[in-house]
């Protein structure tokens, strides 16, 4: 890519020299970075991507720009491997796509692991970002920001509310990775793992009955069309970061690295405001488009939480390295804040 950029700049300079009446200025060290995201541009998570990339471009006076590949169009959900292998320079990374292999990140992917209220989420993200960065660096990238890119995660079904153990029987449910799958088994369903791009058709055709998918994904992927029944467990489900490949990071100047980190912090603060507004607006829009909601009774909610705790305690905590143990210690401090039923939007109790 660097060779291509140099060639393009050289050709551009030659063209400019031939235009005597014009003055052409090429910014020093101009770069265009390839950025990958698994969600479409219309998704809530894309707001953070745009805020950060545009902020970096502005702060560097246009020297660093980004070409964003939405909807997994370039590398699917293999962003972390793509950064390591030099296919892309940056990405919005989600832990479920790598935590099956990197168990130190697995704690984020068990439902109810961290708070989703703006104050708790902001504090949690700031505290764990350096720990996540250290883990990702060993895999080929640096985490420069952890904006609140994921709205809460309910259970969305084509033909039922999952209001109790009986309703869970025989349910095939799409989920994003190994640890969510372990949780679904304990909740009483049969997990199926595949990419979000395939989900609409799978629900429409009945290949799966339900899915774990964040509210913004339900909206941007139009899942409310084949699946209108949303059981509001509203839990955390994954951890998102904006990452830069190690190779690209090493080639950046110290000043440009500092800019990316500074804009990263600003994006995290800005994202908390956008998160609150996005949560409320997304719930309203889904309702307007025909989605139906209910909140499980307290006993069922407690059953789901206990099953998730079992995955956390038995499948993950004993297997992490020192890096993962530090993250688990943080999660354990914050987890008591998250064990409450949702309060935003339609909170009608399930029949």
Q: What is the pLDDT of residues 42-59, one digit of tens each?
A: 888 999 999 999 999 999
The pLDDT of residue 325: 94
Q: How far apart are CA 74 and CA 62, in angstroms?
A: 24
Residue 140 CB neighbours (<10 A): 17
Q: What is the pLDDT of residue 27?
A: 57
| Residues 2, 150: Cα–Cα separation, whole Å | 33
Q: What are the helix and strand counts (H, E) for the chain? A: 12, 11
pLDDT of amino acid 184:
95
> Rg of the chain over CA atoms, in angstroms?
21
| The pLDDT value given to residue 2 | 38
Cβ atoms of 136 and 104 within 8 Å: the answer is no
Distances (CA, A) of 231 to 205, 218, 222: 20, 13, 17
> What pLDDT score was predicted for residue 12?
35
CA distances from 119 to 115, 124, 272 (A): 9, 9, 8
Specify whether the CB–CB gap between 240 and 149 falls below 8 A. Answer: yes
- Which pLDDT score, from 0 to 100, does residue 341 have? 84
Please list the ranges in the chain whose pLDDT falls under 50: 1-26
Local structure of 35: helix, strand or coil = strand
Please list the alpha-helical segments (H only) found in the chain: 2-17, 45-59, 79-84, 118-137, 165-168, 178-187, 199-205, 215-220, 246-251, 254-288, 298-311, 322-334
Q: Which two tokens stand for residue 133?
A: 């960065």
- Residue count of the chain: 351
Nearest one of 99, 69, 276 to 175, comparing CA atoms: 99
Residue range 2-149+238-279 forms a domain whose CATH class is alpha beta
User: Range(s) for CATH 3.40.190.170 in the chain?
Assistant: 2-149+238-279, 153-237+284-337
Domain 153-237+284-337, CATH among 3.40.190.170, 3.10.20.30, 3.30.450.20, 3.40.50.2300: 3.40.190.170
Q: Tell me, yes or no, if the pTM score tops 0.85.
A: no
Asked if 279 and 215 count as a contact pair (C-beta separation under 8 A), the reply is yes
């Amino acid at each position: 890519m660097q060779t291509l950029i140099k060639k393009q700049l050289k050709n551009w300079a030659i063209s400019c020299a031939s235009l005597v009446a014009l003055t052409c200025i090429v910014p020093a060290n101009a770069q265009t970075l390839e950025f990958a995201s698994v969600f479409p541009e219309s998704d809530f998570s894309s707001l953070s991507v745009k805020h950060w990339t545009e902020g970096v471009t502005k702060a560097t006076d246009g020297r660093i720009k980004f070409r964003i590949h939405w909807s997994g169009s370039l590398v699917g959900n293999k962003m972390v491997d793509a950064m390591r292998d030099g296919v892309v320079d940056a990405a919005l990374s989600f832990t479920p796509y790598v935590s099956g292999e990197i168990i130190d990140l697995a704690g984020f992917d068990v439902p109810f692991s961290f708070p989703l209220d703006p104050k708790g989420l902001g504090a949690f993200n700031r505290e764990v970002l350096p720990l996540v960065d250290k883990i990702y660096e060993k895999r080929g990238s640096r985490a420069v920001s952890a904006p609140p890119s994921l709205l809460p995660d309910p259970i969305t079904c084509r033909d039922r509310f999952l209001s109790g153990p009986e309703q869970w029987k025989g349910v095939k449910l799409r989920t994003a990775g190994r640890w969510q799958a372990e949780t679904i088994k304990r909740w009483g369903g049969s997990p199926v793992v595949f990419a979000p791009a395939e989900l609409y058709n799978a629900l429409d055709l009945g290949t799966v009955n339900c899915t774990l998918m964040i509210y913004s994904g339900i909206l941007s992927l139009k899942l409310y069309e084949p699946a209108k029944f949303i059981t509001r467990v509203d839990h955390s489900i994954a951890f998102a970061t904006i990452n830069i490949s190690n190779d690209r990071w090493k080639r950046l100047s110290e000043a440009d690295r500092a800019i990316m980190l500074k804009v990263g912090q600003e994006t995290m603060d800005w994202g908390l405001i956008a998160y609150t507004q996005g949560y409320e607006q997304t719930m309203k829009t889904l309702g307007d488009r025909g989605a139906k909601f209910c909140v499980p009774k307290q006993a069922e909610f407690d059953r789901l939480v206990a099953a998730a705790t079992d995955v956390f305690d038995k499948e993950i905590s004993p297997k992490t390295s020192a890096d993962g143990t530090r993250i688990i210690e943080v999660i354990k401090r914050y987890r008591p804040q998250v064990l409450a039923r949702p309060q935003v939007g339609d909170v009608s109790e399930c029949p």
